[in-house]
Structure 1
Amino acid sequence: MAKTFVFKFGGASVKDAESIKNLYEIVFNRLRNNTIIVVSAMGKTTNALEEILALKLAGKSYSTNSTKIMEFHLKICEELFDLGSLIFPTVKNYFSQLDRILEGDLTQGNYDSFYDSVVSFGELVSSRIVQEYLCAKGLFCIWQDAREVIRTNSDFRFAKVDWEATVKLCEKIVTPKLAQFPVVTQGFIGADEKGRTTTLGREGSDFTASILAHGMRASAVTIWKDVDGVLNADPKRFPDAVKFDELDYKEAAELTYYGASVIHPKTIKPLANLSIPLYVKSFIHPDRSGTKIHHVHPVNTVPCIVVKDEQILVSFKVTDFTFINESHIHSVYTELEKLKLRVNLLQISAISISIVIEKELFKLEKLIQNQRNQFEIRYNENLQLITVKNHNPSLMDELMQNKEVLLEQTTRTTFQVLVKNSHI
């Protein structure tokens, strides 16, 4: 079997016409027949589609918003294609399909399913534009609907991959196409066994690249970002952040778990299981070395800092003078799982359970409502969670200086502190 390579381009790398021209230059210098190109929605399109959903849910008009998104894509096409190109009716047809879906009665169905069917249009349109542009420039490639290849369960918005079915579909559908031309497909989306559109969680395009690499037994995955590689901290917050030339899979996986935004948390495992290296490179400086994630010994000992804003601390205190036991923890976690709320920090005392979660007020209200019978519940908003992997005392002191600490947790290798929002 010929070696397969997977390239993934995120929203920032396809945000406008100049970005897509830059994508072409990157691909032109590196393209092999057996290459899969995974494309995210353009710029902030997913956010814009979520705004339309919010208007729909509130019973307000969304037609102006929908028209703006279509015009945004058509304007990019005007800068890339001759006006007689078939891409223009293709894009308009996608938005006609979107309008038909939006006209549906949301009260009669599953909101999460409706969400997936709407936000998927960002990736569908962007990947079609990229594929058409590459072909127009002489780099002939095939457009592939990811929903035909990535099979998932029906857990809409956070779909779980059916790995066995997906591997078979990769072999059946993608392998023959790659023997002829490179393939362009979408990140973030898949389909359940009934053919209904599902999504893999926000920012899930990295995960798509990993899924396809696993399914194709690829030689390598390259994720093209707006940074030079994986850094030990966000350079916008910490100007002296340093880049790693290489990282072990385990270290990279832990950083994504704690919230490092360079790679989607689920990306590492499918690659590590098959020892497929992951390269994180800059689409701004594509010739720089980037970061290689693979099996590395010894592991990294440089401190890594991850800061998460808009965190909420929720405390569940027992009201009947008993102590916290397994049934209390199980009750809270069962509800968290139902609401698809991820816990970023957990602390248990004799009479209370404290958790740190992302800001999702609608879900928070449901959580409180469903647990208030057995707990007294309080919460604090607008907090910041700082995690330091491979911490040291001086760095911890520096990060906590002049901050009001609400929660603190330290292990041998990891230090986490929850503080009232600061300017880090």
Structure 2
Amino acid sequence: MSKTFVFKFGGASVKDAGSIKNLSEILFNRLRNGLVIVISAMGKTTNRLEEILQIKYRQEDYSSNITILKEFHLEICRQLFEENSSIFPIVSNLITQLEKQLERSLTKENYDYFYDQVVCYGELLSSKILQEYLCSKGYICVWQDAREIIQTDSNHRFAKVNWDQTTANCQKQLAPKLKQFPVIVPGFIGSTVTGDSTTLGREGSDFSAAILASCLHAQSVTIWKDVPGVLNADPKRFSDTVKFEELDYHEAAELTYYGASVIHPKTIKPLANAGIPLFVKSFLQPTESGTKIHHMDYINEKIPCIVVKDDQSLLSFKVTDFTFINEGHIQEIYQGLNELKLKVNLLQTSAISISIVVDRQDFKIEKLIANLQDAFQIRFNEHLQLITIKHHNPITIEKIIKGKEVIMEQITRTTFQVLHKPASS
């Protein structure tokens, strides 16, 4: 079999007709047998689907939102295809399937399950459109439903991969196709053993690429972004960013843990375990070097890295019987967090309280408070911002906290974190 390579294109790279044309130009000299192309939903489609879910949950009319979503995809198709193209009935059929999913009952109890059955249509639409467009331009490639390949448990919205079965599926179904054609795969999604759709965590298409690369023993993974590579800060927030030419797996993994959005947090582990290098490159400047993430025997210069996470929630748990905080209290809180699949971004303890910072998630924080309110007095703040500086120095810290209403901060030898209330909140 020819060597396998995996490319992943995010939503910004397929946000409109011009972007898809640009993507096809990137693939012009790179399209070959053995290439897996993982595609995210177009632009802000996932956000639109989440908004539809919210409207559905409030028992309000979402029909106009469906119309807007359908028209968005059809208009892109009109700019890319002839009128008689088969893509138009394909898109209409997928939208009809989505509408049928939305006819079912939605409650707090089945929200995560319902989410996965609905939000998966973003990637199904984008990957089908791209595959049809490449074929219309003479680039022969085939489409593969990721749900037939990536098998997971039923932890909806944060599904865990069944690696043995997924590897077997890759070798049986995907590898033979790759001997003859490049293969387009929708990212972010998988399925349970019973065939229900699952998702791998928000922005999980990077992880899809890593899963397929690991199971296929790929030579490399390339993630195509709208930035020149991995930067030490978000260029949309900071003007003086620095690009890393290369990063060690461990360094990259830490940045994703703290919330760096350029790579999904679960992406690094399977690639590092298999020794598969990860390249982060710009689809706007495809000939530039980007950043290579791999095993490094030497230490980079410790450039401060700044990661910003919005919409954070602070929960403070105080014991009510004048006892001091102990391991049992922490275990009880973490058990509640684990059951609801809430990840702690910052933890701080005192003699009589435990404070945690988590991402805001619909219904889950309310459930956590309800589950623990008999054991603790709980205080709750939301709409906060968490800033992490890795490899901090006094100048960077001073610059970051200047003028901010600081609620909590924590510092170690390598990491500084500050939670504050944004001025607009």
Length-normalised TM-score, structure 1? 0.97
2:28 is aligned to 28
Question: Where does residue 247 of structure 1 map in the other structure?
Answer: 247
Instruction: Letter of the 2:72 partner, please give it.
Output: F
1:153-164 to 2 correspondence within 5 Å? 153-164=153-164
Counterpart secondary structure, 1:106: coil
Q: Residue 144 of structure 2 aligns to which amino acid in structure 1?
A: Q
Partner SS for 2:303: coil
Letter in structure 1 aligned against 2:122: G
SS of aligned partner of 1:376: strand
1:186 maps onto 2:170 in alignment: no
Tell me the distance in 1 between the aligned counterparts of 2:261 and 2:251.
Answer: 14
Given residue 298 of structure 1, which amino acid in structure 2 is its aligned partner? Answer: Y
- Structure 1 segment 186-265 matched on structure 2, within 5 A: 186-265=186-265
Q: Post-superposition shift, 1:297?
A: 2.8
Shift of 1:421: 1.5
Alignment map for 1:325-340 (pairs within 5 Å) = 325-340=326-341
Once the two structures are superposed, what CA deviation does each residue of 1:203-238 show, in whole Å capped at 9, x if it has no partner? 000000000000100000000000000000111221
> Does 349-358 or 293-302 show the bigger shift?
293-302
CA drift at 1:382? 2.6
Counterpart of 1:418 in structure 2 is 419
Partner residue in 1 for 2:270: 270
Q: Could you tell me how far 1:333 is from its partner in structure 2?
A: 1.0
Alpha-carbon distance, 1:171 to partner: 0.3
Q: Which amino acid aligns with 2:77?
A: C
Q: Which amino acid aligns with 1:328?
A: H
Q: What residue number does 1:288 align with? A: 288
SS of the equivalent of 1:135 reads: helix
Q: Secondary structure in 2 aligned to 1:288? A: coil
Distance of 1:380 and 1:104 partners within structure 2: 34
**8 Å contact from structure 1 (residues 6, 222) kept in 2:** yes
Contact in 1 for aligned 2:108/2:363 (Cα 8 Å): no
Structure 2 match to 1:40: 40
Code of the residue aligned with 1:392 in structure 2: it is N
Match of 2:307 in 1: 306
Single out whichever of 98-107 and 360-369 deviates more from structure 2. 360-369
Amino acid at match of 2:399: E
- Structure 2 residue identity aligned to 1:86: S
Q: How does 1:263-412 map to 2 (within 5 A)?
A: 263-300=263-300, 301-360=302-361, 362-412=363-413
State the alpha-carbon separation in 2 of the partners of residues 200 and 60 from structure 1.
28
- Give 3-state SS (helix, strand or coil) of 1:408's partner: strand
Residues 2 and 33, structure 2, Cα contact 8 Å, conserved in 1: no
Tell me the CA shift for residue 111 of structure 1.
Answer: 2.1
Q: What CA distance in whole angstroms lies between the structure 2 residues aligned with 1:202 and 1:108?
A: 19
Distance 2:340 2:172 in 1: 36
Q: Would the alpha carbon gap of residues 36 and 194 (structure 1) be closer, same or farther in structure 2, given more than 3 Å must change? A: same
- Render the CA deviation track for 1:366-418: whole Å, top value 9, x for unaligned: 22222111111112223221111111122212222222322121112111111
Report SS of the residue matched to 1:6. Answer: strand
Name the Cα RMSD after superposition.
1.3
Native 8 Å contact 2:8 2:39 kept in 1: yes
Alpha-carbon distance in structure 1 between the residues aligned to 2:108 and 2:362: 23
Cα distance, 1:266 vs structure 2: 0.3
Superposition pairs of residues 3-22 of structure 1, within 5 angstroms: 3-22=3-22
Runs ≥4 in structure 1, deviation > 4 angstroms? Answer: none
Q: CA deviation at 1:98?
A: 1.0
Measured in 2, the distance between the counterparts of 1:51 and 1:310 equals: 16
Distance apart, 1:108 and its partner CA: 10
Q: Tell me how far 1:119 sits from its aligned partner.
A: 0.6
Deviation at 1:99, TM superposition (A): 1.1
- The aligned counterpart of 1:96 is 96
Q: Which segment drifts farther, 326-335 or 33-42?
A: 326-335
Q: CA deviation at 1:325?
A: 1.2
Name the structure 1 match of 2:65: 65
Structure 1 residue 16: deviation in Å? 0.5
Compute the displacement of 1:335 (Å).
Answer: 1.2
Partners of 2:129 and 2:322 lie apart in 1 by 62
Contact 1:391 1:414 in 2 (8 A): yes
Deviation at residue 2 of structure 1 after TM alignment: 2.1
Pairwise CA distance, 1:60: 1.0
Distance, in Å, in 1 between the alignment partners of 2:66 and 2:315 is 37
The structure-2 alpha-carbon separation of the partners of 1:121 and 1:243, relative to structure 1 and needing over 3 Å to count, comes to: same
Deviation track 1:251-277 (CA, whole Å, cap 9, x = no partner) reads 000000000000000000000001100
Inter-partner Cα distance in structure 2 for 1:297 and 1:422: 43
Q: Distance in 2 between matches of 1:422 and 1:398?
A: 16
| SS of equivalent to 2:198 | strand
The amino acid that maps onto 1:359 is R
Report sequence identity in percent: 65
The more displaced of 241-250 and 384-393 is 384-393
SS of the residue 1:330 aligns to? helix
Corresponding position of 2:51: 51
* Number of aligned residue pairs: 423
Distance, in Å, in 2 between the alignment partners of 1:245 and 1:422 is 35
Return the alpha-carbon distance in structure 2 between the equivalents of residues 381 and 371 of structure 1.
Answer: 18
Write the distance in 2 (CA, Å) between the matches of 1:94 and 1:403: 47
Q: What is the CA distance between 1:54 and its match in structure 2? A: 1.1
Q: 5+ unaligned residues in a row in structure 1: which ranges?
A: none
* Alpha-carbon separation, structure 2, partners of 1:36 and 1:111: 32
Per mean C-alpha deviation after superposition, the further-off stretch among 124-133 and 307-316 is: 307-316
Q: Deviations over 1:112-135 (max 9, x none)?
A: 111101110110011000000001
